[in-house]
Amino acid sequence: AQSVTQLDSQVPVFEEAPVELRCNYSSSVSVYLFWYVQYPNQGLQLLLKYLSGSTLVESINGFEAEFNKSQTSFHLRKPSVHISDTAEYFCAVIGGSQGNLIFGKGTKLSVKP
């Protein structure tokens, strides 16, 4: 069965600093990988996804994630964060034939001025 581990439950960082949110997954089959962001009292919004092709994927607001098959990781990075990036970030995987999303427990990113 697939599982997703987000190693950090909370990440505090100062504005304009770089950040990395870690995600590891377990799956014996090919996977699709996703990062979703959840702002307070809102639903989940897709940030970026890896389906196939280039292992480095980018979002429109400066985040990027790299699929590393050998390390079974899909870490999310941003070189310079803004206050508005404060939110909870969820890593998720689809594996197997069912197509069900399996989520990690989330990482709360708190950007301080």
Partner 1 sequence: EAGVVQSPRYKIIEKKQPVAFWCNPISGHNTLYWYLQNLGQGPELLIRYENEEAVDDSQLPKDRFSAERLKGVDSTLKIQPAELGDSAVYLCASSQSGRETQYFGPGTRLLVL
Candidates 7, 12, 14, 42; binder of partner 1 (CB under 8 A) is 42
Of the candidates 1, 24, 2, 6, which has an alpha carbon nearest to the alpha carbon of residue 89? 6
Contact string (CB under 8 A) for partner 1, positions 48-77, x = contact: -x----------------------------
Of the candidates 97, 107, 54, 53, which has an alpha carbon nearest to the alpha carbon of residue 76? 107
* Contact call for residue 94 and partner 1 (CB under 8 A): yes
Q: Which stretch binds partner 1 (CB under 8 A): 11-19, 36-44, 60-68, 73-81?
A: 36-44
Candidates 19, 57, 67, 106; binder of partner 1 (CB under 8 A) is 106
Task: Kindly give, in sequence order, each residue whose CB lies less than 8 Å from that of residue 66, ignoring residues fewer than 6 positions away.
Answer: 55, 56, 57, 73, 74, 75, 77
Task: Kindly give, in sequence order, each residue whose CB lies less than 8 Å from that of residue 14, ignoring residues fewer than 6 positions away.
Answer: 111, 112, 113
* Contact call for residue 100 and partner 1 (CB under 8 A): yes
Least distance between partner 1 and beta carbon 4 (Å): 8
Report the interface residues with partner 1, using CB under 8 A. 4, 9, 32, 34, 36, 41-46, 49, 90, 92, 94, 98-101, 103-106
